[in-house]
Amino acid sequence: MFKMSLKRIYILSGFLGLFAVSGFGQISIGELKGGEINTISTAVPFITIAPDSRAGALGDAGVATKPDINSQHWNVAKYAFIEEDGGLSISYTPWLRKIIPDINLAYLTAYFKPSKDQVVSGSLRYFSLGSIAFTDIQGVTWGQFTPFELALDVGYSRLFTDNFSGGIIFRYIHSDLTQGQLIGGEESKPGIAVSSDLGFYYQNTMYVGGQKSNYALGINLSNLGTPISYTADAKKIPIPSNLRLGGRFDYDLDDYNSMSFILEFNKLLVPTTPVMKLDSASNQIVLDRGKEYPESIVLGMIQSFYDAPGISYDDGTWSSPFREELAEIMISAGVEYWYRNQFAIRTGYFHESTIKGNRKYLTLGVGLKLNVFSLDFAYLVPTNGQNSPLANTLRFTLSFDFESLNL
């Protein structure tokens, strides 16, 4: 009989769930000021973690920021407006180091412009969960294993007009959390899913006080795909399908100094966990508030806009379902300053409702661009007044742009 040393898996899944959208399974309900936690459950939350330093320094905003090499994660449609002919970027994030020292996220992305109005791109995301001990029911160690998750995707984007573009991504997801070990007497397997992203991006110019400025709007539907299971008979868990939309406003202070202001909203397109109760007449668990999970993935995405049961308060009352739906919207805001398009200072803020995970943090970062070489750094400071596992999160990104490949 197998018994994994699951303490670490529970820590990983719980904190990944609470701080990266929701966990491998539902987080236990617990009371917080103003209401009870009712986070949304998904598998593979690692694909929602901001992988690059620039967006990480802007409060995890990227759907309408200026196009860059890492547009693959945020909105593939932005690539169509990128000026260089190609580029390569490598990012590294030590993750939850305050809790466990050997978890990390690595991200490799690249793009190439075969013509002036088309771009092909690709990325590889690798999430290492460190080393985990597997034991039997007597506590005897069977060995050390290294669970991991990865996502591999390819994208295509193109200009539709001088100001509007669109793009699509196809993604393969592989999640190997147990490495074939038995769970409850049943052999486990890697979770596998396929998904796609669909993005649109619009940018144009406007005049403010006689000064020419730029603005942009972006929308991205990401991780629209199949659910995941880790055993043959287990119920499948949805992946974190997401809707992200936002805007950007650029203003040139003078010939050498410019600023960008970014605001972004995103929401998981995953059904909210309903509230169940025991029916005394039938002695069965029945639906109390909210809606049961639909069988169809598409219906689940649609239902995610109106299925909240309402927020439960300490005095036994409930809010309207609409109020909980609003609480599921996460907000990112950022400001980016550039000097001579060579040196950048960035800051941002990310807000999530207390009952949906309570991620609230300030982000800071700097960037340096020299010819084709760029180096970016980001730092995260929690502001939710708790001893957050996300404290002191660092991100590093090294990028290379190629102005002309002459191919």
Domain ranges of the chain: 2-402
- DSSP annotation of 302 reads H
- C-alpha span between 104 and 320 (Å, rounded): 39
- C-alpha span between 54 and 331 (Å, rounded): 17
Residue 178 has pLDDT above 80, yes or no: no
The domain defined by 2-402 carries CATH number 1.20.1050: no
133 compared with 286, residue with greater pLDDT: 286
Angle at 91 between CA 86 and CA 95, to 5 degrees: 160
Q: Which of helix, strand or coil describes residue 371?
A: coil
Question: Please, are residues 238 and 273 in contact by the beta-carbon 8 Å criterion?
Answer: no
Rounded to an integer, the average pLDDT of 235-259 is 93
232 compared with 289, residue with greater pLDDT: 289
- DSSP annotation of 11 reads H
Question: Please, are residues 228 and 203 in contact by the beta-carbon 8 Å criterion?
Answer: no
Residue 268: left if φ>0, alpha if ψ -120 to 50, beta else—which one? Answer: beta
Question: Please, are residues 386 and 82 in contact by the beta-carbon 8 Å criterion?
Answer: no
Question: Please, are residues 146 and 184 in contact by the beta-carbon 8 Å criterion?
Answer: no
- C-alpha span between 157 and 19 (Å, rounded): 31
The amino acid at 112: F
Q: What is the pLDDT of residues 304-348, one digit of tens each?
A: 999 999 888 877 788 888 999 999 999 999 999 999 999 999 999
pTM of the model: 0.87
- C-alpha span between 222 and 330 (Å, rounded): 15
Q: Tell me the chain's radius of gyration from C-alpha atoms.
A: 22
Tokens of 344: 């950048």
63 compared with 30, residue with greater pLDDT: 63
pLDDT above 90 as % of the chain:
58
- Please report, for residues 4, 7, 30, 65, the alpha-carbon distance to residue 136 in angstroms, rounded to integers and kept in the order given: 7, 14, 31, 50
| Mean predicted lDDT score pLDDT of the chain | 85
Q: Which residue's structure tokens are 């330093």?
A: 53
pLDDT above 70 as % of the chain:
85
